[in-house]
Each structure stands twice: as C-alpha cells, then as structure tokens.
Amino acid sequence: MRYIEQQTVVKRMNGRLIANAIFKYIFLAATLLALLALVILLFRIVSQGAGNLSIDFLTNFASRFPDQAGIKAALIGSLWLMMVVAPTSIILGVGSAIYLEEYAKQNRITSFIRMNISNLAGVPSVVFGLLGLTIFVRAMALGNSILAAGFTMSLLILPVIIVASQEAIRAVPGELRDASYGMGATKWQTIVNIILPAAIPGILTGSILALSRAIGETAPLIVIGVPVIIQFLPAGVMDTFTALPMQIYDWSSRPQPEFQAVAAAGIIVLMAVLLFMNSIAVIIRNKFDKRY
Amino acid sequence: MRNWKFAMASTILGSALILGACGGTDTGTETEETGSGTAGEEATVEGSVIGDGSSTVAPILEGLVEEYAGAQPDVQVTVGVSGTGGGFEKFVAGETDFSNASRPIEEEEIAALEEAGIEYTEFLLAYDGLSVVVNQENDFVDNLTVDQLKQLWVEDGTTKMWSDIDPEWPEEEIVFYAPGTASGTYDYFNEVILEEEDIVSSATLSEDDNTLVQGIQGDPNAIGFFGYAYYIANQDTLKLVPIDGIEPNDETIESGEYAPLSRPLFVYAKNSSISENDAMYDFMQYTIENSGEMAQAVGYVALNEEDYESGLADLEALKE
C-alpha cells in the first residue's frame, strides 16, 4: 500500500497552485487598492496645501485673507487639549483596566461591564459631544473651555484605552504572576514590578493611538460649541480655545477656493502631528517589545 | 526593573516634550502681542466677548475680530459657527453675549428668550442675496418667477421635470441642491418661497455650501441656491438665474429690488452685556462701524450709512 499516490498528487497539484496564485493576487489587489486611495488622498492634500505651508502659517492667527491665514490658535489649542486628555484618559483608562483584570472577580457583572466598555468604543463621537455639553459645559458650568472639551474627549477615547490596556495586561504570562506571588510579593508589588513593565508597550501603543483619534475628532467639539473665530491663545485650562479639526472644517466650508488650499495646509499640519504621535507609539513598541 | 524605569523616563520625557513645545510657543506670542498692542490711540478696554451663530455671518465677524484684535489686544473675542438656530440656543442658555443670524429671529426663539429673562437688541449688519443657480450647460432657464420657484421646490409627490415648469423646456428630471435644514439660509428660503411647505424630497441637502456648488457644477440638470458670496466665488462655473427678471448684484440686493430673496444679516446682542461689559460695548461699536466695509470685502452687500448710524444710536441708548 502506498500512502502517496503520485498520480493523485499530480492531478490535484494544478488546482491547488491556481488557487494559491489567485488568492495571492486577490490580497495583493486589496492592499494596492487601499494604498492607492491613501496615495491619491495624500497627493491631493499635499499638492493643494504645500504652497501655503510656511513658518507664517504656523505663527499667524486665522485671517480673512487666505494668504495671511495661520493655524497658530488651532495648533496651540490642540496641544492644550492633549495636555488635558492625555493624563485624564490614561490614568482613568489604565486604572480601570488594572482593576478589571487584576482585582475584579471574574463573574457576570464584570463580564457585563467589559461588554459595555467594548460597545462604548463604537458609539458615535457626536453622542459623546452631547454628553459633554450636558455634563461638563452646562451642569458643571465649565463652559466651552479646554477642560470641558478635554474631559469630553477623554470620555470618547477611554473605552479604547481600557480595552487596549486590558489586552496588554492579559497577555502577561501567568507564570510571571505566580512566580511573583511565590516570592512573597503582594498584589500591588506584583502589578507595579511585574505586570505593568511587561504590559507597558501595549498600553502605551493603545493610548497613543487613542490620543491620535482624539486630536482629529471634530464632531464633539462642534457640539460643545468650540469657537473658530479667535485671535488669542488660551492661558489656562479654563480658557476657551479652538482646535485643528475645527479650523480645518471652517476653512473648507468657505466660498473662496483659496481657503480650500489653506484648509489643505491645515490638514498637512494635522497629519504631521498625527504622524509624530504614531511614531512615538512605534518607537515605544519597538523599544519594549520582545520580552517574555 | 531597569526597563520599567526606562519606560517611566521615556513617558515623562514624552510629556515634557509636548509641554515644552506648547509652553515655548506660548511665551513667544505673549511678547509678540504686547509688542503690537502699544499703538492704542483710543482708551483701552479689557474683557471677553462671546458670540456664536450663523456660518453665513461668520466671515464678516472673522474680519472684524481680526481687525479688532489689533485695535484692542486686551479684549478676547470668540465667535462660534453653530448655525443661526444653534447660536440662538446658546443665546437663550445665556452662554453668549451676541448671536449672529442670517434670518430674523423666530417667534419661538423670542418666547424662549423672554422666558429666560434675556433682553436683546437686533442690529442689522449687511444684506445677502440668496442666489439661484443652474449648471452652465443649462441654456433654457434664463429667468424664474417666484411662483415657478415655489413650483420647483415644493414637494408634490411627483417626479419633477423641467417640462413641468415650462412646456418649452426639456423633459428631463431636475436635480435639486439646497442648504441643510439647520442653516438660516434654508430657513429664509423656507419662509419666503416654500411658505412652510415641505422641500422637494429628492433634494440633496448639505450644510456645506461647497458641496452644493460642486453638485450643481457636475450635473447639467441641477438647480440650487445659496449665499451670494458662494456665487461670486464660483461665477465662472455657474449660471445665475434672475428672479422675476432681476439679477442679484450689489445695487439690487441693497435696494431690496432683488425681492424676496435678498435677506438681512443680523447680530442679536444681549442688552445686559452691552450695559455691563465695556468690552462688549466697544466691540459692538466697532462691529457696527466697520461691518459695511467688511461685508463687501467678503462678498456681501453693505447697508446705507444711515442704517449703521441708527444702529449706533440704538447701541448708545443701551449703554446709558
């Protein structure tokens, strides 16, 4: 008896190879299509907006003259916003993740909470804007300040940070925990010395990607009533401000075609900020990856 | 352990970078601002003024705020663009000192303001002519009457053909583009043309007027309407339709001859803000004095000199 039928193998070989090739090209086409869209988008934006990019563009306030319009108020406003969003969302998010993974009992209530957090990640950002308007802007009387907008944005990205941190914490091998307990460490010591160091790349990558989302969101800011016509910089978190996506949105809705080019330049600045944040995420991941 | 410390260090370094970048630019501008603010020949005032409202009025305000920041660097003026209705909502909630509107205030809004105990004054800033446009390839529509406009835009359950409006026109389906229902532009059109009847259901509604412009440019059977400034910016690629034989232009809009589609642009100011807040009074004064010039610069039509003077007189009366 022969286990491998030469004849059958040869007969089937062709079909298998064709299927192999077909799928290879299908996936290649999928990748290329996505890339093509990205390249066209980037090309359009850069070719439209590059002419307006200059130091003046970064250091001027918005203007009714397209050639004098600058993005200073929006850029600084977005950085202020991030200064509120980053600590608030990371502290709350990582804290919740640690609690849910390490302290909470694994019962129905916990899994119900988990499921809800995952669902929250899919809620449209306008809804978070309305929540922010009701709670922070009106009930807590923070007005359309950086603090109110920052808290709203934090709420928006919290689910993403919690889920990413939970995944990172869950990926830490159980033997490490056991070894730590075996050495007589308390839960807190284990979390600080073993779990967090091992989970930090995942947590930070998730957090920075979430922050990137926050910096590009427009809808919640519109709902909160963040102004776009503003000729001063905020001096503290209680001041009002404007942000990059608001400014870009405003410019792109102007009648004059010159403003479309200014909007494109604004998009380039926003993309540069995003790219900078994402590259931090990549660096952190590469630095701390490949452990355990 | 070492890696954990390193992670901490890089996190701290990262946030320090962001902080540093922000702080650095901040101090830079402050010195800049004090440098440019020394030229004040009038008495300087301090304070903050908050406005919101129509995105149609916003370009006028943007110019005013920009110039005003040079004249009174210590006054912080912010203006949002939530739309006429959205602006009034904030005005009623007491969150703003003034509200821009591209239509007169509505009964409901007056009632809400009364309930909230907010007294206000209406200031007229400029005129805009709602422009009805068609695709450039359209060679048959050279004029529309107000009745035809209504016939075109009101929903009547049928598929609208150009031949329904005028038998001489081709039997092709009309493609409609109109501003979104939250805009004052829609409200105004609704009031004077539709008279509260439903807008044709096949219409593409967009809050972004540039979407309308592009839509009409791209379809030979398209018709749409939007603010005069958007027509001016795209006049080479769109065909303007005169209404009852009158084209919108500076003269016909200002004189009101381009009726009923020439519409007023307003600022509604809170009386208590004017009397109690010097910055608000000063900014409103600046606004009324300069809005004519600014309106023309951004594609709208200025009022008569007398109208601005009567606005200033109203403002003066509120101060005392």
Please report which residue ranges of chain A form alpha helices under DSSP H: 6-49, 55-59, 72-98, 108-120, 125-132, 146-170, 174-182, 187-190, 196-216, 219-224, 244-252, 257-288
Q: Which residue has the tokens 């390193």?
A: B6
The pLDDT value recorded for residue B10 is: 55
- Tokens 């990549």 belong to residue: A282
Domain count, chain B: 2
Statement to judge: residues B237 and B226 lie in one domain: yes
Q: Are residues B15 and B67 in the same domain?
A: yes
Average pLDDT, integer, range B41-69: 87
* Whether residue B116 is found in the same domain as residue B148: no
Is the pLDDT score of B13 beyond 90?
A: no
Lowest mean pLDDT among A48-52, B35-39, B184-188: B35-39
Could you tell me the pTM of the whole model? 0.80
- Count Cα atoms within 13 angstroms, Cβ side, for A71: 30
Across the interface, of B14, B61, B90, the residue whose CB is closest to A280 is: B14
State pLDDT tens for residues B237-259.
999 999 999 999 888 988 888 98
pLDDT above 90 (res A72): yes
| pLDDT for A267 beyond 70 | yes
pLDDT of residue A66: 87
Q: What would the pLDDT profile of B128-155 be if each residue is shown by its tens digit?
A: 989 999 999 999 999 999 999 999 999 8
The Cα of B244 is separated from the nearest Cα of chain A by a number of Å equal to 26
DSSP state letters, chain B: -HHHHHHHHHHHHHHHHHHHHHHHHHHHHHHHHHHHGGG--SPP--EEEEEEE-TTTHHHHHHHHHHHHHH-TTEEEEE----HHHHHHHHHTT--SEEEESSPPPHHHHHHHHHHT--EEEEEEEEEEPEEEEETT--S---B-HHHHHHHHB--SSPPBHHHH-TTS-S-B-EEEEE-TTSHHHHHHIIIIITTSPBPTTPEEES-HHHHHHHHHH-TTEEEEE-HHHHHHTTTTEEE--BTTB---HHHHHHT-STTTEEEEEEEEEHHHHHH-HHHHHHHHHHHHHHHHHHHHTT-B---HHHHHHHHHHHHHHH-
In chain B, residues with a C-beta closer than 8 Å to the C-beta of A253 are 55, 207-210
Instruction: Determine the distance in angstroms separating the CA of A253 from the nearest CA of chain B, rounded to an integer.
Output: 6
B217 or B298, higher pLDDT? B217
- Residue finishing a domain among B228, B246, B262: B262
B43 and B144 share one domain:
no
Residues of chain B numbered 180-219 and touching chain A (CB < 8 Å): 207-210, 213
User: In this predicted model, what pLDDT tens digit does every residue of B158-188 receive, in sequence order?
Assistant: 888 999 888 899 999 999 999 988 788 888 8
CA distance B47 to B277: 8
Let me know whether B136 and B257 are in one domain. yes
Residue B41 structure tokens: 């020949």
| The pairing of beta strand B75-79 with beta strand B47-53 | parallel
Average pLDDT of chain A to the nearest whole number: 91
What's the CA gap between B44 and B277, in Å, rounded? Answer: 13
Output the six-digit token pair for A196: 């967090």
CA pair distance A200, B20, nearest whole angstrom: 24
Which of B22, B76, B80 is nearest residue A228 as measured by Cβ atoms?
B80
Per-residue confidence (pLDDT) for residue B39, from 0 to 100: 40
| pLDDT confidence of residue B8 | 52
Confidence category of residue B25, pLDDT binned at 50, 70, 90: very low
- The CATH number given to whatever domain includes residue B168 is 3.40.190.10
Q: How confident is the model at residue A27 (pLDDT cuts 50, 70, 90)?
A: very high
B23 touches chain A (CB under 8 A): no
Inform me whether the pLDDT recorded for B91 exceeds 90. Answer: yes
Q: Per CATH, is A57-288 categorized as 1.10.3720.10?
A: yes
Taking the Cβ of residue A219 and every Cβ of chain B, the question of whether any pair is shorter than 8 Å is answered with: no
How far is residue B171's CA from residue B166's CA, in Å, rounded to a whole number? Answer: 10
Q: How confident is the model at residue A30 (pLDDT cuts 50, 70, 90)?
A: very high
- Chain A segment 103-132 residues within 8 A of B by beta carbon are none
Cα gap A242→A250, rounded to integer Å: 11
DSSP line for A124-147: -HHHHHHHHIIIIIIIS--TTBHH
Neighbours of B195 (CB within 10 A): 9
Q: How many CB atoms are located within 10 Å of the residue B119 CB?
A: 13
**A286: nearest CA in chain B?**
B7
Specify the pairing of strand B47-53 against strand B175-179: unpaired
| 3-class secondary-structure state, position A292 | coil
Angle, CA B25 vertex, CA B21 and CA B27 arms, to 5°: 120
Give the pLDDT band of residue B24 (cuts 50, 70, 90): very low
Task: Inform me whether the pLDDT recorded for B295 exceeds 50.
Answer: yes
SS3 A150: helix
Are B3 and A288 a contacting pair, CB within 8 Å?
yes
Residue-wise DSSP of A226-285: --SEE-S--SSTTSB---HHHHHHHHHT-SSHHHHHHHHHHHHHHHHHHHHHHHHHHHHH
Q: What is the pLDDT of residue A243?
A: 94
Q: Rounded mean pLDDT of A143-172?
A: 94
Tokens of A128: 């978070």
Give A207→chain B minimum CA distance, Å. Answer: 12
Residue ranges covered by each domain of chain A? 6-52, 57-288
pLDDT for residue B174:
93
CB < 8 Å to B62, chain A: 62-64, 229
Query: Would the pLDDT of B315 be above 60?
Result: yes
CB distance A229–B77 less than 8 Å? Answer: yes
Task: Based on the fold, state whether residues B143 and B225 are members of the same structural domain.
Answer: yes
Residues A271 and A198: beta-carbon distance below 8 Å: no
The single-letter DSSP state of residue A100 is: I
- A252 near B CB under 8 A: yes
- Quick one: B134 and B203 in the same domain? yes
Q: Which domain, by its residues, includes B96? A: 4-127+264-319
Confidence of residue B41 (pLDDT cuts 50, 70, 90): very low
Rounded Cα distance between B105 and B266, Å, is 9
ipTM: 0.76
Contact list, B76 vs chain A (CB under 8 Å): 231-232
- Please tell me the predicted confidence (pLDDT) of residue A286: 82
Distance CA B158, CA B201 (A): 10
State residue B34's pLDDT score. Answer: 39
B30 and B55 both lie in a single domain: yes
pLDDT for A4 equals 75
Clarify whether residues B171 and B200 are in a common domain: yes
**Angle, helices A196-216/A244-252, rounded to nearest 10 degrees:** 30
pLDDT over threshold 80, residue A292: no
d(CA B180, CA B178): 6
Looking at the structure, tell me whether residues B195 and B297 fall in a common domain.
no
A249-253 contacts at long range (C-beta below 8 A, 24 or more positions apart):
A249/A218, A249/A222, A250/A62, A250/B58, A250/B81, A251/A69, A252/B208, A252/B210, A253/B55, A253/B207, A253/B208, A253/B209, A253/B210
Best residue in A231, A239, A278 to probe B by mutation, most B CBs within 10 Å?
Answer: A231
pLDDT over 80 at B198, yes or no: yes
pLDDT value for B11: 53
- Cβ distance A252 to B209 less than 8 Å, yes or no, reads no
Query: pLDDT tens, A97-146?
Result: 999 999 998 889 999 999 999 999 889 999 999 999 999 999 998 988 99
pLDDT of residue A128: 95
Q: Give B317's strand partners.
A: none
Nearest-CA distance A215 → chain B (Å): 13
Among B262, B283, B302, which residue terminates a domain?
Answer: B262
A window 44-63, beta carbon within 8 A of B? 59, 61-63
- Cβ of residue A273 closer than 8 Å to a chain B Cβ: no
**Interface contact flag, A230 B297, Cβ < 8 Å:** no
